[in-house]
Structure 1
Amino acid sequence: MKDFARSDDPAVQAQLDRLARLSLPQGRFGLDTIRALLARLGDPQKRLPPVFHVAGTNGKGSTCAYLRAILETDGKRVHTATKPHLVRYNERIRIAGALISDAELAERLRTVLDAGEDLGPSFFEVTTAATLLAFAESPADACVIEVGLGGRFDATNVIERPAACGIASLGIDHEAFLLVPEEGTPDEPIARIAFEKAGIVRPGRPLVTQAYPEGAALEIERVAMAAGAPLHVRGQDWSASAGEAIEYADRHGRLTLPMPALPGAHQADNAALAVAMLRHQDFVSVSAEAMAEGVRGAIWPARLQRLAAGPLTAHVPGREVWLDGGHNPDAGAAIARHFGGRLHLVVGMLANKNPEAIVGPLETRLASLSVVPVPGSESHGPQAFGHRARPFDGVAEALAAVPADDLPILVAGSLYLAGEVLRANGQIPD
């Protein structure tokens, strides 16, 4: 799997090879293993600076990017954990604003893998333990931590006293894990997704959310009430509307914020959630000026990212080439909203994802449809995308074959594919 990554550093690669031999035991859900592993490491999750913990189907990574940008603009030292990586595993762990060094990464992974050898931890449990260990041993003013899968049983859900928890947009994804039948959980799919995401809630600590359909909203309210957590819902406790600027309001007052530089109308929603999380907690103070500048300056690769001139885009000189790693219906809808006219689509999707999620919202606007494999992963062939789809061996070949016109080109369908595109174009995230 691409998740396991590769490194040019032999010491890091030795530990990544050990990681690659781990997997989640079939049918095992829960936090017992990660807690046992962390106990052997001195419980670093109990020694963290104030944590902002973010879950959601789409937008959680972008929300983390806004939180980090705002806090750093305010002069704060911030540790950040996001996932998945695009090119280098190091992207998952950012220490005080910088990607973890190869030397520290190799040492943290070795320590965790040695400590948990007999516990049978998963890739994600080892990654989380190494992240929390690195965070606990380097001073900082705040941590921003993105949930991986779901929330309730995600390995990051060992955080005990977050400054604030947030839930970004909700949709149906990872059904094989998040919709497994379980007694006492909601039957309605979107309500079950909400239940899983809301599992990050903690007693007495604020939970800040977007607005959701009734079933999902009621489930989040129920979970928050049961946990004794203050709930702050968009449209009830805070509001945000976007035009030429973001007009934000809550009980503390009003803010006028610039629109994000990140493309896509949905980014205003993600930025507003980050601001709401900061304004509904009492552990880290942030100025309104830092909020405005952070919203404007946040960077988040492979989310409606316009590619720069490079070896890959040289196949279509002078053309707009966009990259997005979205792979579920909500992501497809957001992409469709961004592109108002016709475009060329180069798509690669994992075999366990639904091609209609991306192609469906764009169907009437596609000038061409090229299908490529996702390197290192089982992916859909052209037959899954309909009779118009043309197969290519890779993105470079697909770009070279795009008709010569002025229409934009979008490469989409998988974050794994997005990582390969950034690598090939020389735009490695730093």
Structure 2
Amino acid sequence: MPLFNAETLAEWLQHLEGLHPSAIDMGLTRVATVRDAMGLKPTFPVLTVAGTNGKGSVCAMLSSMLRASGYKVGTYTSPHLLDYNERVRINMQPAADVDLVESFRAIEQARGDVTLTYFEFGTLAAMRQFIDAGVDVAVMEVGLGGRLDAVNVFDPDVAGVVSIDLDHQSYLGDTREAIGAEKAGIFRAGKPALCADPNPPQSLLDVAEKVGAPLQLVGRDFGFMKEGEGNQWMFWGKHGKHHALPIPALRGSYQMGNATLAIAMLDEIRPLLPVGISDIKRGLLEVEWPARCQVLPGRPQTVLDVAHNPHAARALRLALDQMGYAAKTHAVFGAMSDKDIAGVVSALADRIDHWYLASPQLPRAASVEQLQAAIESVAPQAHTSGFTLVKDAWNAACEQASDNDRILVFGSFYTVAEVMAAQHGSR
């Protein structure tokens, strides 16, 4: 069978989507086989971040602070919002189509009869680009779980777990104990392991002890506290304190916890990549991470957030309360059918005046009827409207909202992405 060989990124992505019979196939054997065939052995430090929520924000903060220190940083995150290139960044800039195509072609030539999923292909392509570009450090976000995620074929020099809660239960287990063990799978013997969940499951502690990873816990080994009356705070950890830090540019009080984990991880990599206090401050002020409690300019206030599980929805609720008054909140909402939709709705139902429901254009998406049933089970008196397309729901919310109202776009990444695409198309 001839090797697939196309010139455009769109053709390659279409090829990858149909290459493996399952979109998700947990396991490291296949991807490790291709890694070895390609000789992908990073000689630079690797920082790996796992967690139910917040891992993308931690990766963004790590990359921003390292970049402020003058290091060449490779960052791998998922999923993307508008363009696949967002997943692979060097010095905060998305990879070029031609470079991704070159990496995909090299993987296709090396894999032989080994089948790879879309995500596994992408993970190998990212590392190949980082090696070819000669980055000083790679910041890698785990896609799903940790132990069997493709990112885990590259040994981390520092591993961080942001949070542990219920999500992807069909793959990771239906308890925090089971999920904690999966996420702790990124820990390595003798390498620093950090957890920012204030109530880590015993399973995570057990895995760290079993593999011999020196584990640091938030509140015990590192943490933060506000300083003075202004918007400054202090980080404290096993290597000392950092005073007069600015509030992170990313909105939401929960971002303080994410920033704390990022700084603690940087402290552990300091012997290899020292980052000064001025660079930490600059990185916190300049960090960008779209659709994480992102407030768009103009009126009515528009908030984009990819909260897609109850844990994230509770954090979103708190962030909305901290944003101040809005006469009404109009919610554009869509979700995947395998998510705890009722749990997400329950966290926000009393903060939303009208729901504009639509299914993202994806086979896994929950139907409008499913969304309505979930809302009615939690909030029988809620006002809902159903639409065929997410952009139609968005347009309806814009028509109904006054200048003193708020429009909240949330649910799956795909819901937010379709609204962002509609916004771009209208400019």
- TM > 0.5 between the two? yes
The reply on whether 1:370 has 2:356 as its aligned counterpart is yes
1:313 match: none
Counterpart Cα distance in 2 of 1:252 and 1:80: 26
1:228-258 deviations in Å (ceiling 9; x for gaps): 1111111111111347323211232221311
2:407 match: 409
1:15-26 alignment, distance < 5 Å = 15-23=12-20, 25=22
Q: Pick from 420, 423, 429: which aligns with 2:421?
A: 423
Deviation, structure 1 residue 426: 2.0
| Contact kept? 1:86, 1:419, Cα under 8 Å | yes
Counterpart Cα distance in 2 of 1:85 and 1:239: 30
Q: Which runs of 5+ in 1 are unaligned?
A: 1-8, 180-187, 310-317
Deviation, structure 1 residue 97: 2.9
Q: Which amino acid aligns with 1:75?
A: G
Deviation, structure 1 residue 41: 0.9
Deviation, structure 1 residue 212: 3.6
1:291 match: 280
Q: Which amino acid aligns with 2:12?
A: Q
Counterpart Cα distance in 1 of 2:64 and 2:13: 29
1:392 match: 387
The reply on whether 1:33 has 2:30 as its aligned counterpart is yes
* DSSP 3-state at the match of 1:49: coil
The reply on whether 1:63 has 2:50 as its aligned counterpart is no
The reply on whether 1:86 has 2:51 as its aligned counterpart is no
* DSSP 3-state at the match of 2:349: helix
Counterpart Cα distance in 2 of 1:82 and 1:27: 16
**Residues 199 and 404 (structure 1), Cα distance of their counterparts in 2 relative to 1, 3 Å cut:** closer
* DSSP 3-state at the match of 1:67: helix
1:222 match: 206
1:6 match: none
Q: Which amino acid aligns with 1:254?
A: K
1:59-78 deviations in Å (ceiling 9; x for gaps): 00000000000000111110
Q: Pick from 261, 273, 291: which aligns with 1:273?
A: 261
**Residues 323 and 404 (structure 1), Cα distance of their counterparts in 2 relative to 1, 3 Å cut:** closer
| Contact kept? 1:48, 1:135, Cα under 8 Å | no
Q: Which structure carries more relative contact order (alpha carbon 8 Å, separation 6+)?
A: 1
Identity %: 34
Counterpart Cα distance in 2 of 1:113 and 1:246: 49
Counterpart Cα distance in 2 of 1:112 and 1:151: 22
TM-score by length of 2: 0.88
Counterpart Cα distance in 1 of 2:143 and 2:206: 23
User: Which has the larger displacement, 95-104 or 27-36?
Assistant: 27-36
Q: Pick from 287, 290, 312: which aligns with 1:331?
A: 312
Backbone CA RMSD of aligned residues: 2.1
1:235 match: 219
Q: Which amino acid aligns with 1:102?
A: D
**Residues 14 and 292 (structure 1), Cα distance of their counterparts in 2 relative to 1, 3 Å cut:** same
1:171 match: 165
Q: Which amino acid aligns with 1:197?
A: K
| Contact kept? 1:211, 1:235, Cα under 8 Å | no
| Contact kept? 1:80, 1:145, Cα under 8 Å | yes
TM-score by length of 1: 0.88
1:304-383 alignment, distance < 5 Å = 304-308=293-297, 318-340=299-321, 342-380=328-366, 381-382=368-369, 383=372
**Residues 17 and 25 (structure 1), Cα distance of their counterparts in 2 relative to 1, 3 Å cut:** closer
Deviation, structure 1 residue 83: 0.4
Counterpart Cα distance in 1 of 2:357 and 2:111: 41
User: Which has the larger displacement, 410-419 or 113-122?
Assistant: 113-122
Deviation, structure 1 residue 123: 1.3
| Contact kept? 2:35, 2:124, Cα under 8 Å | yes
Deviation, structure 1 residue 26: 9.1
Counterpart Cα distance in 1 of 2:307 and 2:318: 13
1:314 match: none
Q: Which amino acid aligns with 2:255?
A: Q
Q: Which runs of 5+ in 2 are unaligned?
A: 1-5
Q: Pick from 136, 139, 163: which aligns with 2:131?
A: 136
Counterpart Cα distance in 2 of 1:392 and 1:10: 37
2:3 match: none
User: Which has the larger displacement, 134-143 or 326-335?
Assistant: 134-143
| Contact kept? 2:390, 2:415, Cα under 8 Å | no
Deviation, structure 1 residue 422: 1.7
Q: Which amino acid aligns with 1:125?
A: E
1:108 match: 103
